[in-house]
């Protein structure tokens, strides 16, 4: 609790947030009771000279950041400071945030995973920048010390391996320098499934040929050059093993509970076309065994494993699931839920669907983190798509430009990669909707072309079908075709959260807001920690506007605008709502924000471009815009 408060914006969190974060597996009243007990213990810990640092009121807890020193916040400050300040990061960063705390499941694990990754990247970037400065200054000895510090955080950091190689060579220890190259090669293969890049291979050849101080002669054609080749440029499927769930209740007659859940998870994950799932028939050797994830990865040749345990106690069943990285044994995600014995059978499909729906984005995020560290020259089509996705999440013109470059590289490497085409179609539609496209017609044509190719390349990929459905309605106004594509997507993979959200948006456009709310609720259960949640909550705002619930539109739009103040998709229904509520003065600043992006902001332009199917819905929308001060022409 202290860690979450210390790192939360302003050092504050509501009681409701803390209870949901730390006791998500308990009933609401139990969670509140646990929170009250912990607050009492926390107050006792702060009593005395630190008492002013903690403030507790009826609704929230607050740590006064001006009264305490927090190592993780100090790390952020030092990491962007002077060389001497950045050097202090080495001593301050002693490993992962809260390294002695294991998994407690649920939202806290998700928060801790992202915070650990952020602090690790912050420390690594500070050390790496200092390493580059020392290399540029020709200080080989200090460079080696910095490089070893970098390698403690990221064992696959090529630049650091090269610095160690060069340091050994400059000291005359050629054998150790060549051995460091072998260490780098093995580590890159194990951690990133990559091979050393040209700069590393060139240095190896120069050291091997006693040419370290001479001119670089390019890549040699001997053994090390072969390391640059062999990576498949095409897209690959990610390998995942679902291990037999352990029965930890002691009654062997209850084994069937875990077996059934594991089989259902295999079936659910197999519906995601980017995953290659190893089923329980091939993982039987791990039945009843507390398996080492590293051993699982080596023996089954998989990158991730899904583990689970089931405990039945009287009429209650506790189900625990976790996703682990088979390279280092790290827990990527975990989930804990408790149900009555009867509910396990009645709600088995729903329980599994929610688990599987959350596994997919967690696997994607873990792979995005891995792709960031992969050397550019080793990236295949799959890696380039992974580099594009977080840039698309940022949703601004510059990030979209960079994402487009990665997607184009992916399609050069693999022209038939359905997911690359699907993301390209999504990007073009988003650019048009937000007014970022430099050539609007070219973007529209690109969206249509890539959506068609995505489905042609893989007609059974739920994501490709959903994205194509969105293009059909937004670009072509072909509502029936969009409906068919969305229905097919959900039939193929009902665990794809974005599929439900896209289908909800279509329902809004077709004048069925109540159905949209239902589908959005399915999305929320499947994707509770989606980094793109602001976009899908905007679908909720649009649905409320179509339902003419204008006060709710204003309320629902505000949290989105805190992080995305210029997001056109939410500004539009908000302006409509304020117009109908008779509050044009309140709408003015939102109109100005929208006009800054869409210079031809008129009723006529809106009528031509906004994809509401029913004339009555569109006319009512336009009337709200008029009342808010949008001109006719």
pLDDT computed for residue 578 by the predictor:
97
Least Cα distance to 429 among 479, 469, 370 occurs for 469
Q: Exposure of 631 by Cβ count < 10 A (0-12 exposed, 13-18 middle, 19+ buried)?
A: exposed
Q: Residue 373 above 70 pLDDT?
A: no
The residues facing 305 across adjacent strands are 241, 324
260/267 Cα distance (integer angstroms): 11
- Report the greatest alpha carbon distance in the chain: 82
DSSP-derived secondary structure for 220-260: -SSGGGGGGS----S--PEEEEEPPPEE-SS-GGGHHHHHH
Q: Exposure of 257 by Cβ count < 10 A (0-12 exposed, 13-18 middle, 19+ buried)?
A: buried
Q: Residue 227 above 50 pLDDT?
A: no
- φ/ψ of 324, rounded to 5, equals -120, 145
Please report which confidence band the pLDDT of residue 330 belongs to, taking 50, 70 and 90 as the band edges: confident
154/426 Cα distance (integer angstroms): 33
Q: Residue 555 above 90 pLDDT?
A: yes
Judge contact between 393 and 308, C-beta under 8 A: no
Judge contact between 472 and 460, C-beta under 8 A: no
Cβ of 83: how many Cβ atoms within 10 Å?
A: 11
- Span 97-125, mean pLDDT? 79
Number of H helices, E strands in the chain: 28, 9
More reliable by pLDDT, 64 or 232: 64
How would you classify residue 229: left for phi > 0, otherwise alpha for psi between -120 and 50, otherwise beta? beta
72/91 Cα distance (integer angstroms): 12
Mean pLDDT of the chain: 85
Cα-based distances in Å from 556 to 94, 305, 540: 42, 38, 8
Lowest mean pLDDT among 210-219, 339-348, 468-477: 210-219
- Span 58-73, mean pLDDT? 90
Q: Residue 435 above 70 pLDDT?
A: yes
Least Cα distance to 422 among 389, 391, 395, 398 occurs for 389
pLDDT computed for residue 228 by the predictor:
32
Please report which confidence band the pLDDT of residue 369 belongs to, taking 50, 70 and 90 as the band edges: confident
Please report which confidence band the pLDDT of residue 344 belongs to, taking 50, 70 and 90 as the band edges: low
pTM of the model: 0.65
Cα-based distances in Å from 72 to 129, 253, 375: 19, 48, 28
Scanning 276-417, the segments in alpha helix (DSSP H) are 293-300, 341-346, 348-373, 381-394, 397-413
* Percent of the chain as helix, strand, coil, to the nearest 5: 65, 10, 25
Percent of the chain with pLDDT over 90: 36
Q: What is the pLDDT of residues 512-546, one digit of tens each?
A: 999 999 999 999 888 877 878 889 999 999 999 99
Least Cα distance to 348 among 264, 259, 269 occurs for 264
DSSP-derived secondary structure for 411-440: HHH-TT-HHHHHHHHHHHHHHHHHT--SSH
Task: Specify the DSSP class assigned to residue 309.
Answer: E
333/363 Cα distance (integer angstroms): 9
- Span 269-275, mean pLDDT? 84
Classified as helix, coil or strand, 323 is strand
Q: Residue 377 above 60 pLDDT?
A: no
Q: Residue 408 above 60 pLDDT?
A: yes
Please report which confidence band the pLDDT of residue 476 belongs to, taking 50, 70 and 90 as the band edges: very high
pLDDT computed for residue 106 by the predictor:
67
Cα-based distances in Å from 471 to 15, 287, 325, 543: 42, 46, 36, 19
Least Cα distance to 118 among 193, 90, 110 occurs for 110
CB burial of 333-372 (b: ≥16 within 10 Å; e: otherwise) equals bbbbbebeeeebeeeeeebbbbbbbbbbbbbbbbbbbbbe
**Residue owning tokens 């065994």:** 289
pLDDT computed for residue 176 by the predictor:
93
Judge contact between 382 and 236, C-beta under 8 A: yes
- Span 365-388, mean pLDDT? 76
Q: Residue 215 above 50 pLDDT?
A: no
305/238 Cα distance (integer angstroms): 11
Please report which confidence band the pLDDT of residue 441 belongs to, taking 50, 70 and 90 as the band edges: very high
pLDDT computed for residue 226 by the predictor:
34
325/316 Cα distance (integer angstroms): 30
Q: Residue 332 above 80 pLDDT?
A: yes
- φ/ψ of 575, rounded to 5, equals -65, -40
- Span 447-466, mean pLDDT? 94
Judge contact between 109 and 334, C-beta under 8 A: yes
**Residue owning tokens 């993301």:** 423
Q: Are strands 275-278 and 238-242 parallel, antiparallel or unpaired?
A: parallel
Q: Residue 217 above 50 pLDDT?
A: no
Please report which confidence band the pLDDT of residue 281 belongs to, taking 50, 70 and 90 as the band edges: low
Judge contact between 260 and 348, C-beta under 8 A: yes
pLDDT computed for residue 517 by the predictor:
96
- Span 460-477, mean pLDDT? 94
- Span 489-493, mean pLDDT? 92
131/125 Cα distance (integer angstroms): 10
596/76 Cα distance (integer angstroms): 34
Classified as helix, coil or strand, 154 is coil
Cβ of 255: how many Cβ atoms within 10 Å?
A: 17
Q: What is the pLDDT of residues 392-403, one digit of tens each?
A: 887 778 888 889
Classified as helix, coil or strand, 28 is helix
Q: What is the pLDDT of residues 239-271, one digit of tens each?
A: 898 888 888 766 776 777 777 788 888 888 888
Judge contact between 19 and 32, C-beta under 8 A: yes
Cα-based distances in Å from 155 to 91, 143, 288, 337: 18, 16, 33, 35
Chain length of the chain: 633
Top mean-pLDDT range of 228-242, 361-375, 498-512, 587-601: 498-512
Q: Residue 202 above 70 pLDDT?
A: yes
Q: Residue 141 above 70 pLDDT?
A: yes
Judge contact between 441 and 431, C-beta under 8 A: no
Q: Residue 404 above 80 pLDDT?
A: yes
pLDDT computed for residue 520 by the predictor:
95
């Amino acid at each position: 609790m202290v860690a979450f408060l210390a790192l939360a914006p302003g050092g504050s969190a509501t009681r409701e947030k803390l209870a949901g974060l730390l006791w998500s597996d308990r009933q609401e009243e139990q969670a509140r009771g646990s929170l009250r007990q912990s607050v009492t213990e926390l107050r006792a810990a702060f009593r005395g000279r630190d008492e002013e640092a903690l403030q507790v009121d009826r609704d929230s807890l607050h740590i006064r950041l001006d009264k305490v020193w927090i190592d993780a916040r100090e790390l952020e400050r030092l990491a962007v400071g002077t060389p001497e300040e950045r050097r202090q990061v080495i001593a301050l960063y002693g490993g992962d945030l809260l390294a002695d705390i294991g998994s407690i499941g649920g939202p806290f694990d998700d928060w801790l995973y992202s915070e650990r990754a952020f602090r690790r990247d912050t420390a690594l970037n500070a050390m790496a920048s200092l390493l580059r400065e020392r290399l540029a200054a020709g200080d080989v000895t200090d460079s080696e010390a910095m490089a070893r510090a970098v390698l403690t955080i990221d064992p696959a950091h090529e630049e650091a391996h090269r610095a160690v190689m060069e340091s050994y060579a400059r000291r005359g220890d050629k054998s150790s320098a060549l051995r460091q190259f072998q260490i780098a090669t093995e580590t890159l293969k194990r951690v990133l499934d990559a091979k050393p890049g040209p700069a590393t291979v060139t240095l190896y050849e120069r050291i091997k040929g006693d040419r370290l101080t001479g001119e670089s002669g390019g890549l040699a054609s001997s053994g090390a050059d072969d390391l640059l080749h062999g990576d498949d440029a095409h897209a690959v499927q990610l390998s995942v093993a679902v291990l037999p769930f352990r029965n930890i209740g002691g009654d062997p007659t209850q084994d069937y509970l875990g077996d059934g859940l594991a089989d259902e998870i295999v079936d659910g994950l197999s519906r995601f076309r980017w995953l290659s799932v190893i089923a329980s028939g091939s993982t039987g050797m791990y039945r009843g065994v507390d398996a080492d994830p590293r051993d699982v990865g080596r023996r089954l040749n998989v990158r991730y494993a899904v583990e689970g345990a089931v405990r039945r106690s009287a009429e209650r069943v506790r189900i625990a699931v976790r996703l682990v990285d088979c390279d280092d044994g790290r827990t990527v995600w975990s989930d804990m839920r408790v149900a009555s014995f009867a509910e396990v059978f009645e709600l088995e499909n729903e329980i599994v669907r929610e688990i599987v729906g959350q596994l997919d984005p967690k696997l994607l995020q873990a792979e995005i983190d891995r792709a960031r560290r992969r050397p550019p020259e080793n990236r295949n089509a799959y890696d380039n798509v992974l580099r594009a996705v977080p840039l698309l999440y940022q949703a601004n013109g510059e990030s979209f430009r960079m994402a487009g470059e990665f997607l184009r590289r992916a399609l050069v490497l693999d022209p038939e990669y359905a997911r690359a085409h699907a993301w390209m179609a999504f990007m073009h539609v988003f650019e048009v909707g937000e007014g970022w496209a430099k050539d609007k017609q070219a973007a529209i044509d690109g969206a249509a072309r890539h959506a068609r190719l995505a489905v042609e390349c893989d007609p059974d990929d739920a994501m490709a079908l959903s994205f194509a459905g969105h293009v059909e309605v937004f670009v072509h106004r072909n509502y029936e075709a969009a409906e068919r594509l969305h229905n097919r997507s959900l039939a193929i993979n009902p665990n794809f959260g974005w599929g439900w959200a896209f289908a909800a948006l279509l329902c809004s456009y077709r004048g069925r807001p109540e159905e949209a709310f239902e589908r959005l609720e399915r999305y929320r259960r499947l994707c509770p920690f989606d980094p793109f949640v602001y976009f899908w909550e905007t679908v909720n705002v649009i649905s409320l506007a179509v339902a003419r619930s204008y006060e709710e539109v204003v309320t629902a739009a505000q949290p989105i605008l805190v992080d995305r103040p210029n997001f056109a998709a939410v500004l539009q229904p908000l302006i409509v709502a304020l117009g109908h509520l008779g509050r044009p003065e309140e709408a003015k600043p939102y109109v100005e924000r929208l006009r800054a992006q869409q210079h031809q902001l008129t009723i006529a332009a809106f009528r031509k471009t906004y994809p509401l199917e029913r004339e009555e819905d569109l006319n009512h929308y336009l009337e709200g815009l008029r009342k808010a001060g949008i001109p006719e022409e």
